[in-house]
Every structure is written in C-alpha cells, then in structure tokens.
A and B are shown apart, each in its own frame.
Chain A
Amino acid sequence: MKHTLSVLVENKPGVLSRIAGLFARRGFNIDSLAVGITENPDVSRMTITVDGKDHPIEQVTKQLHKLINVIKITDLDPKRTVARELALVKVKSDAHSRGEIMQIAEIFRANILDVGRKTITLEITGTYEKINAIEQLLEPHGIVEIVRTGRIAIERGAK
C-alpha cells in the first residue's frame, strides 16, 4: 500500500539531503517527494510517498524521526486526506488531432497552457489516478514530455 507521509522539518540548509540520504542508505524507495514552505517560514513541509509493501512504514517513520531537523511526521489516512498532484503534459498534435485533445482536456478539466505548431501543452490537477488516466488517453497522440510535481496532501477538516 502507498503511504503518504507529511513531514514537518526545520527550514535549514541540508535538511533535504539528510532525508534523501536516509532513504537511500536504509534502502527505502521514494515514489514522490514534494517540498514547500508552510505558514511558518522556519518550517517546511515535505510530502513523501513510499510503498509500504516494500518497506515497513514503521521503520521509515522511526528512522526519519531520529533526524534532529524532523519535527513531526504524519502517516496520512487516505480516507481523511485530500491529495493532489499537478502535471504538465506536452503532447504531439496537428490540426487533425487538436480537436480530440482539446476534448480530452475538457473532460479532465485540464487547462491548455500553450499551443504550438506541432504540440499542445496541458495542465492537469488531480489525484494520482486521474493524472494516470489522462496520460493514458493522450498516449496514442504521442507524449513529448511530462512533468509531475509529486503528491501533496492535507488532512480534511473536522466534520
């Protein structure tokens, strides 16, 4: 099972390297990693997705906790979490296929960022699965380049 770890860290030089290094030397694979500042400028948040099938998630979080710069780790419960990812996709298109691609974009509520002579660039926000789905539909047209941010996630508010 995929786990989404929301990790609060001190915003200090070298923290990312400490975390990445820990994953590497303990043999944990990172599926995705997104970093950004938080409402507190001294603190950054990393959203890390790891496959719990490959590594006991408990070991991953415990080892992360041992890093002095790591303040808090939450293994987000998917049922109580909203997760999103942003992808930019440059896909081959000519006058012939442009209509169909724009239709796909509409269905997925993707924004069209750029239209070139031979390509269209789309911006899609959504879950990991949604982005995979549009990627699959665009595949036959020929994907030139895809850039994904990795997942970011937040816990839902109390109901």
Chain B
Amino acid sequence: MKGSEAIVASLKAAGVDTIFGLPGGVVIPLYDALYDSDIRHYLVRHEQGAAHMADGYARATGKTGVCIATSGPGATNLVTGIANAYMDSSPMVAITGQVRSGLIGTDAFQEADITGITQPIVKHSYLIKDAKEIPRVFKEAFYIASTGRPGPVVIDIPADCQLDEIDYSQPEKIQLLGYKPTLKGNMKQIKAAAKLILSAERPVLYVGGGIVNSGAHKELAELARLLNIPVTTTLMGIGSFPETDKLSLGMLGMHGTGYANYAVTHSDLLIGVGVRFDDRVTGKLETFASGAKKIHIDIDPAEISKNIGIDVPIVGDARGILGELVRELKKARPGKTATRAWNKQVSDWKKKHPLSYEEGESDIAPQHVVEEIYRVTRGNAIICTEVGQNQMWSALFYKHTKPRHFITSGGLGTMGFGFPASIGAKVGQPRKTVIDIAGDGSFQMTIQELATAVNYNIPVVVAILNNQYLGMVRQWQELFWGKRYSNTCIECQPDFARVAEAYGALGMTITDKKDIADAVSTAIKAKKPAVLDFRVRQDENVFPMVPAGKSITEMIGGHK
C-alpha cells in the first residue's frame, strides 16, 4: 500500500478515531487516504486551533489527541499548541507534511525544519526518511506520547514517503532502548513516606496534574480521608480532589486561597504528588513550606529536587504509589486524632480568610458569572478557560469536583487555548456540557474556530467575561506599575454576539446580573455553539494575589 494509506492504517491500529487538522500541498496524499477512511476529521480554520483541539480532546478523554498540518506555515502554526501540550504533559501526536526528501535543506517552497523548530517543546520527534518506517514510527510515537510523563510527539513526513509503496505490517513490539519509564514506586521509599506521614502533626497534600494523568483521584481521596489530611491542588490538579470536601483547601500559590497558602507555609509535612514546585506555586522558594519535611511523588525523576530539596522522593505512577501508601498506612491502624488540632487551625483560616468579592446592584462581577455557571450546571460541566483573570476566577469561584473537568493552559499560559480546547473536549465527551470561560482578549486569538464549531455543530458555550481589557496585565499595571495602563485597553472590539450570529452560532449580550443564569441555561439548551458576552465590571482584580517572587503568605487583597 501507499505510505499515506500506511499512515491511516497505523492511526487506526493506534485506536485513533478523531483527528483535527487542515490540509495543504504536501499532505494531499494523506488527506486523500483519509477521504476513504472512517476516521472523523475535523477541519479547522487555523492549525493552532487543531493542536489545541487535539489537546482539549486528550485532556477530556485521557486518550492521545491527534492533529495534522501541512509543511512550512502549517507546521509552524502548530508550534504554540505543541508547546502548550508539552508544558502541561498532555499526550498528543502532531503529524506534519514535509517537502519531498530530495528538496529538504534547499529552502524549498513551504519548507520549515519543524523537527528542529519543535525540538525543545516535544517529548520526541521523528523525521521519516523512508516510507517503510511509517508503521514503526507511528507505533512508537503513540506509545511515547501516552506513557510515562505524557507529552507531544511530532512526526514529519515528506510528500514522497506518503506516495511510496510499502508492504504494510504492524510491528509486534516496540523496542526503545532509551525509554523505560519507572511506574512502580520503590517500596522502601513508600515505607519511609508512610513513617513520615504517621508522625506528622500538620500534614498537607499538595497535588497536581499528575493525579489527573494517572487517574489517581480515588487513591488520593482515600489517603486524605484516612488521616484527615488537608488537600490543596495546583491549577493543573484542579478537579483531582472535590472542592466540596471539608478537607479541600482549593488552589495554592500566586492566586491561591489564603487558607491554602497559610496551611502549606505552616505545615510540618508537605506531600507533593504529580507536581513540579513551579514558581507560580511556591513564590519565594526559601520560605516555601520551609518548616516542613517534603515527600515528592512524581513519574518524572527530573522533577525531583529540581527546584526544592526533597526528603523522601518516590518515582513512579501516582496511582500505584498512593495505593501502596494507603495499604502501608492502614497496617499501622492510624487514628485521625493526630491531625485534629491542625484541621481546627485550617478551619479557622477558612473562616478568617474566605474568598470574597463585592457584588454590585446590577453591574456584573466576573466572579458572579462563574458562580452562576456553577449553579446552573450543578458543577457537572467541563470548564475550559482562556488565560489571565478569566482563568483564575474560573479556578477559584467554581467548585470543581471531578478530574478531567477543568481544562486550562497551566504551564505555557496560552491565550486562545480555551475555545478550541473546548471544541476538542466536546468532541471527546459529547454528552457533557462544555463551557469555555473566556476573556475578551483571549477569545479573539482563536475566534475563527467558531466556523469549526458551527460547521460540525459542536455545541460549546463561550462565556466571555468582557472587561475590555487585557485584564491580568492591567491588574499588574494597577498594582505594580503606578496605574500606567500601557496597551492593555482593548475597547475597540467587535460586537461578539453579532460575530457569533454571523458565523451561525447563538450570540447574546448580558449587561444585568439578573440575566446571567437565564443566559447560561438558554445557551446550554440551544444545542448549537453559543457565545455569551458578559459585560463585566472593568476594574475588577483577582484576589488574593502574591506579588511575583514574594512568600506565598504575603498576599494582597481578597481577604481580611
């Protein structure tokens, strides 16, 4: 069969039934092979949208997302999406066309060295030189993308390799000499961790995206409830522990809750699971949980002691390790009394420093929109976000209870991610209500994907918290730059409701807070893509806030 047919056969062998992409000159053979295949291909309007959709699909389903772009500009348009998947450890295979082999290196039309360009932002990449490599490379790529610490893999395929005839057969096994992720935790280390946990008086579980990727939420809850250990999540860990639980501290860090930051700072044992001690979480490293012993469970050994010294590291898959840890702890028949005083302290902090904002008469507080979305969806929706204030309010004011229900660009902080990601999530989870909580700035970065959503009738809801500012930068300018609002006002903007209608979606503008809930439920029931333009208070800030580089207890605003 032809190389292009071998690609389709390899995709099917990998279990792929959904692809996002946009064709171009050198991938015409591949698209020709897809034409006869039962793989559903979603045609996007910009390749960045395809990468984010594949990423959103992956995060909502746990399966590997797949996107296709042509050579040159098609491939470079994927770059932001690939970097985004890399930073948030999202499994993705990005297929790019390349000019034919003989032309590589000659600056041919639409030639770009995409394996070179993406080298720092991929888990691995392949430039296929011979069509015979196709079955092996695809098998390896899906294995690498989805195992260990997941991440994006790029496969660059010259046009001639798509046309060459090969004898297709699926390789039986994968032979990767240099890739053997450690999954099972070292028992000695697990025992050492159990010992520390049993002797702790002020323990805190600090958990992140690793819990979601590993599907370890049940084991996490069991561990937390066994000894009544308070749990705080990173932005990526949101949903891995129900925020309705009394042990939940919500998110920690720069825009974390006051009580999460106090609890971490005063803890005597910090149990980090699937986290990477990122600067947005730790603030000033020297004062981060400085009185605490630290256990760090992570599948990536390079994360251990990267930013902060660890007393008991355990490398492996979080789910298996937490399961073992619970079994080990149960042997000691622990009571819950050891943490009683600590939980009392935590609950005092919760009372003293609750999340808060001021409600207006009829004007709309952005936080209130998020709360209303929570109320209308009963907390069952998949929430995607853009980046900035909308993202932080979505993290803080919606009570997240389920893993894979909060999809956000954590590491890279990609404005324009949320909307295409919501399309990918809805494709992967068609029965779920999917809402992208957006900012007016972010939404305009990938707004053209409204055509994709309408084209395939993918009924996602975009809720724009429209403050006519690049709000988070405006907030920094207000707080740290003497209110010099350099280039953050974006008052010149389209009427989003009419733009939505022009694309064939539902569009609504909401200016009174009493109309929020109705608008949200109308949009959900519309059974077609909908854009809700909430004209919110312009100068609202995200609080609490820890200024960059300060200790996480040096919070400003939002708590008394």
Q: Give chain A's interface residues, CB within 8 Å of chain B.
A: 9-10, 13-14, 17-18, 21, 25, 58-59, 62-63, 65-72
Q: Does A9 contact B178, Cβ atoms closer than 8 Å?
A: yes
Partner-binding segment picked from B26-34, B119-127, B200-208, B433-441: B119-127
Question: Given that A14-B127, A59-B302, A62-B301 are contacting pairs, would A68 and B178 also be in contact in the complex, using a CB cutoff of 8 Å?
Answer: yes
Residue B332 is within 8 A (CB to CB) of chain A in the complex: no
Residue B306 is within 8 A (CB to CB) of chain A in the complex: yes
How far does the Cβ of A55 sit from chain B's closest Cβ, in whole Å?
12
Residue B522 is within 8 A (CB to CB) of chain A in the complex: no
Q: Does B178 contact A13, Cβ atoms closer than 8 Å?
A: no
> CB-CB < 8 A to A66: which residues of B?
300, 302
> CB-CB < 8 A to A68: which residues of B?
123-124, 144, 176, 178-179
Q: Does B115 contact A14, Cβ atoms closer than 8 Å?
A: yes
Q: What is the chain A residue whose CB lies nearest that of B119?
A: A21
Q: How many B residues face the partner with a CB closer than 8 A?
A: 19
> CB-CB < 8 A to A71: which residues of B?
177-178
Residue B429 is within 8 A (CB to CB) of chain A in the complex: no
Q: What is the chain B residue whose CB lies nearest that of A12?
A: B126
- Between A25, A67, A68, the greatest number of chain B beta carbons within 10 A of the residue's beta carbon is seen for A68
Interface positions of B from 87 to 120, Cβ below 8 Å from A: 115-116, 119-120
- Between A58, A59, A66, the greatest number of chain B beta carbons within 10 A of the residue's beta carbon is seen for A66
Interface positions of B from 156 to 205, Cβ below 8 Å from A: 176-179
> CB-CB < 8 A to B176: which residues of A?
68
Residue B521 is within 8 A (CB to CB) of chain A in the complex: no
How far does the Cβ of B141 sit from chain A's closest Cβ, in whole Å?
10
Checking A18, A58, A65, A72 against B305 with a beta-carbon cut-off of 8 angstroms, the contacting residue is A58
> CB-CB < 8 A to A25: which residues of B?
120
Kindly state the separation between the CA atoms of A36 and B445 in the bound complex, as whole angstroms: 48
Q: Does A17 contact B302, Cβ atoms closer than 8 Å?
A: no
Q: Does B178 contact A70, Cβ atoms closer than 8 Å?
A: yes
Q: Give chain B's interface residues, CB within 8 Å of chain A.
A: 115-116, 119-120, 123-124, 127, 129, 144, 176-179, 300-302, 304-306
Question: Given that A69-B178, A70-B178 are contacting pairs, would A13 and B302 also be in contact in the complex, using a CB cutoff of 8 Å?
Answer: no
How far does the Cβ of B514 sit from chain A's closest Cβ, in whole Å?
52
- The 3 A-B pairs of least Cβ separation, nearest first, read A62-B302, A71-B178, A68-B124
Kindly state the separation between the CA atoms of A71 and B144 in the bound complex, as whole angstroms: 15
Q: Does A59 contact B119, Cβ atoms closer than 8 Å?
A: no
How far does the Cβ of B484 sit from chain A's closest Cβ, in whole Å?
33
How far does the Cβ of A19 sit from chain B's closest Cβ, in whole Å?
11
> CB-CB < 8 A to A72: which residues of B?
178
How far does the Cβ of B189 sit from chain A's closest Cβ, in whole Å?
17
How far does the Cβ of A154 sit from chain B's closest Cβ, in whole Å?
21
Kindly state the separation between the CA atoms of A65 and B182 in the bound complex, as whole angstroms: 12
Kindly state the separation between the CA atoms of A69 and B119 in the bound complex, as whole angstroms: 13
Checking B123, B144, B301 against A65 with a beta-carbon cut-off of 8 angstroms, the contacting residue is B301
The 13 sampled A-B contact pairs (Cβ below 8 Å) are: A10-B177, A13-B127, A13-B129, A14-B127, A17-B119, A25-B120, A58-B305, A65-B302, A67-B178, A68-B123, A68-B179, A70-B178, A71-B178
> CB-CB < 8 A to B179: which residues of A?
68
How far does the Cβ of A9 sit from chain B's closest Cβ, in whole Å?
7
> CB-CB < 8 A to A9: which residues of B?
178
How far does the Cβ of B135 sit from chain A's closest Cβ, in whole Å?
17
Question: Given that A13-B127, A21-B120, A68-B144 are contacting pairs, would A59 and B306 also be in contact in the complex, using a CB cutoff of 8 Å?
Answer: yes
Kindly state the separation between the CA atoms of A9 and B119 in the bound complex, as whole angstroms: 17
> CB-CB < 8 A to B124: which residues of A?
68
How far does the Cβ of B63 sit from chain A's closest Cβ, in whole Å?
21
Kindly state the separation between the CA atoms of A127 and B179 in the bound complex, as whole angstroms: 34
Question: Given that A21-B119, A25-B120, A68-B123 are contacting pairs, would A63 and B302 also be in contact in the complex, using a CB cutoff of 8 Å?
Answer: yes
> CB-CB < 8 A to B178: which residues of A?
9-10, 67-72
Q: What is the chain A residue whose CB lies nearest that of B179?
A: A68
> CB-CB < 8 A to B119: which residues of A?
17-18, 21
Q: With contacts A14-B127, A62-B302 known, what are 18 further pairs, Cβ within 8 A?
A: A9-B178, A10-B177, A13-B127, A13-B129, A14-B115, A17-B119, A18-B119, A21-B120, A59-B302, A59-B306, A65-B301, A65-B302, A68-B123, A68-B124, A68-B178, A68-B179, A69-B178, A71-B177
